Amino acid sequence: MTQVIRKAAELRDKVAAWKRSGMLVGVVPTMGALHDGHLSLARAARKQSDRVIVTVFVNPMQFNNASDLDKYPRDEAQDLALLEAEGVDVLFAPGVDEVYPDGFATTVSVAGITEPLEGAFRPGHFDGVATVCSKLFGMTQAGRAFFGEKDWQQLQVVQQLTRDLNMPIRIIGCPTIREEDGLAMSSRNVRLTEAERALAPRLHSVMQEAAAKIRDGVPVEGALNDAKTELKVAGFGTLDYLELRTVDGLKPATDLSQPARMLAAIWLGDVRLIDNIAV
Amino acid sequence: MTQVIRKAAELRDKVAAWKRSGMLVGVVPTMGALHDGHLSLARAARKQSDRVIVTVFVNPMQFNNASDLDKYPRDEAQDLALLEAEGVDVLFAPGVDEVYPDGFATTVSVAGITEPLEGAFRPGHFDGVATVCSKLFGMTQAGRAFFGEKDWQQLQVVQQLTRDLNMPIRIIGCPTIREEDGLAMSSRNVRLTEAERALAPRLHSVMQEAAAKIRDGVPVEGALNDAKTELKVAGFGTLDYLELRTVDGLKPATDLSQPARMLAAIWLGDVRLIDNIAV
């Protein structure tokens, strides 16, 4: 039985009892509308922790766009059924007032790695992520937290903030889960029309082709430019970014002398897709 | 025996062993140059915790003035002797590189109550306080932290940030300890000349007189203006502020309809004195 908890105080009591028995708590922070990507995180948590909490909270502080917040899919009954099937112990689903009560005034900010990519296109987004994660780690007292590599920059931000603030938690990144056609799973995918859904996996295949070229010695800028043209021709909307960045520090990478990651964000209708792959 | 620890990893192991035995850890964050004010906090921690850590770290991030940082008194040998006498278990004295290693990039900020008073005169000060306290709470995993009311606004900021970030710690404020002549104890007092030291306690007595007038029904503004004149005539330097503020939220108070605190910061030579009293 997955227990649904909505209050931080109730969660704290539950966790305190677990901790007195020496149990290791794992947490999977999510915004709900769960798909196999989230469930793979719950499975990883199940394997690497004694007790698993999945949090479902659509965090207003990390949305820079009111319409995106408004349209974000929500289906708690289905989320609960999926988590039951994975043997998750607690679904923690607090309301906005529970997370941000009257008088709330604290922000956690990470400089540097939050500035490019998502940070450049979603002002304030990573302050929202860093703040809510700090709160969720405080509320859950988890020893391990599981994040998908799909949100690669977010994963780096959470790793940096927990290291910087000496939080007693280990952040574990888990591989992106994809549909059979290569599209990275995302809660926002349900908002794609049929035609957009058919086109969407091209993002991943174009990125793979560009990565292969770069590994074969094609200059990075040329390979990325070819990919941008291909995406445009294929029918995608505005490209926010398609870049090669160092794994360590997310600095612009002009070659493969350091481990690198290719990251992209692109619009398809009114849905913004993001993806990233190793190069 | 008070054990001196300089590395966060060593402290973590020590604390983990205590916690496995179910012990409650108390922490007293200080910048060293310990006086009876600090020792009263160590005694409170001793009474209310199973194990006591006193941290000594002159935090560059909370100094807005390089000369103040430079002149801040340091005497670790004497600090250690004083803590030994109080039965403190650990003196945690990390170096700057241990607290802020290369690549450190995270800031914790509290809005609202950090803006007036010290916040207005020491830009960035409370970001430094909030960030280092978050780190020290992470490092020490303390269940209780003890702060002096001498730094009243700081105490409110730490209470707010731990509440806002759901940190599993209780913040306990302890009364200001004063010299016999009423001067609030402060590590910076050793930098006063003999003449300045003789004048310094007038701050507290002038504040007490103003508070008595206000309680007797004298309008707040008049009572504070009289006090400002008296301090000027007595020979103090620049007054940064002398204000009545609500205990809850540090809003300007024009009467005693809500619990209020009188707070002051004033220069005496090149030393800045702060004090506050209940009204």
Give residue A262's pLDDT.
Answer: 98
Q: Mean pLDDT in chain B?
A: 97
Residue of A38, A46, A51, A272 marked catalytic: A38
Which residue of A lies nearest to B168 if distances are taken between CA atoms? Answer: A138
- When pLDDT is averaged across residues B37-47 and rounded to a whole number, the result is 98
B161–A contact, CB cutoff 8 A: yes
| Per-residue pLDDT tens digits for B192-241 | 999 999 999 999 999 999 999 999 999 999 999 999 999 999 999 999 99
* pLDDT at position B96: 97
Contacts of A92 in chain B (CB under 8 A): none
The answer to whether A257 is a known ligand-binding residue is no
The 3-class secondary structure across chain A, one letter per residue, is: CCEEECCHHHHHHHHHHHHHCCCCEEEEEECCCCCHHHHHHHHHHHHHCCEEEEEECCCHHHCCCHHHHHHCCCCHHHHHHHHHHCCCCEEECCCHHHHCCCCCCEEEEECCCCCCCHHHHCCCHHHHHHHHHHHHHHHHCCCEEEEEHHHHHHHHHHHHHHHHCCCCCEEEEECCCECCCCCECCHHHHHCCHHHHHHCCHHHHHHHHHHHHHHCCCCHHHHHHHHHHHHHHHCCCCEEEEEEEECCCCCECCCCCCCEEEEEEEEECCEEEEEEEEC
Rounded CA-CA distance A171/A146 in Å is 6
Q: Determine whether B129 is exposed, middle or buried from the number of CB atoms within 10 Å of its CB (0-12, 13-18, 19+).
A: buried
- Shortest Cα distance, chain A CAs vs residue B64, angstroms: 20
d(CA A50, CA B266): 55
pLDDT band, residue B54 (cuts 50/70/90): very high
Q: Is B22 on the interface with A (CB under 8 A)?
A: yes
Judged by CB atoms closer than 8 Å, whether chains meet at A108 and B112 is answered as no
Cβ distance of B108 and A8 shorter than 8 Å: no
Low-confidence ranges of chain A (pLDDT < 50): none
CA distance B143 to B250: 26
Instruction: Establish whether B204 is an annotated binding residue.
Output: no
Domains and CATH numbers, chain B: 3-174 (3.40.50.620), 187-278 (3.30.1300.10)
Chain B residues with CB under 8 Å of A131 CB are: 165
Indicate the pLDDT class of residue B116, thresholds 50, 70 and 90.
very high
Is B154 within 8 Å of chain A by CB? no
Kindly list the catalytic residues of B.
Answer: 38
Q: Any idea which residue has 């620890």 for tokens? A: B5
Instruction: For residue A160, list chain B residues with Cβ-Cβ distance below 8 A.
Output: 103, 105-106
Note whether B17 contacts A: Cβ–Cβ < 8 A.
no
Distance from CA of B112 to the nearest CA of A (A): 7
| Amino acid A14: pLDDT | 98
Alpha-carbon gap, residue B28 to B39, rounded angstroms: 9
The predicted structure's pLDDT at residue A135: 98
- Kindly state the average pLDDT of the residues B249-269: 97
The pLDDT, as a whole number, for residue A107 is 98
A107/B contact by beta carbon, under 8 A: yes
pLDDT at res. A138: 98
Q: Say what the pLDDT of residue A171 is.
A: 98
- Residue of A19, A24, A104, A108 best to disrupt the B interface, most CBs of B under 10 A: A108
Interface size between A and B, measured as CB pairs under 8 A: 78
DSSP state of B180: T
What's the gap in Å between the CA of B40 and the closest CA on chain A? 27
DSSP conformational letter for B177: P
Q: Which residue of B164, B169, B250 is the best one to mutate when testing the A interface, meaning the one whose CB has the most A CBs within 10 A? A: B164
Instruction: State how far the Cα of A196 lies from the Cα of A185, in Å rounded to an integer.
Output: 14
Q: Which pLDDT score, from 0 to 100, does residue A43 have?
A: 98
> Burial level of A69, CB count in 10 A (0-12/13-18/19+)?
middle
Q: How many whole angstroms separate alpha carbon B172 and alpha carbon A155?
A: 35
Q: Between chains, do B164 and A105 touch, taking CB under 8 Å as contact?
A: yes
Packed helices A202-215 and A220-234: angle between N→C axes, nearest 10 degrees: 160
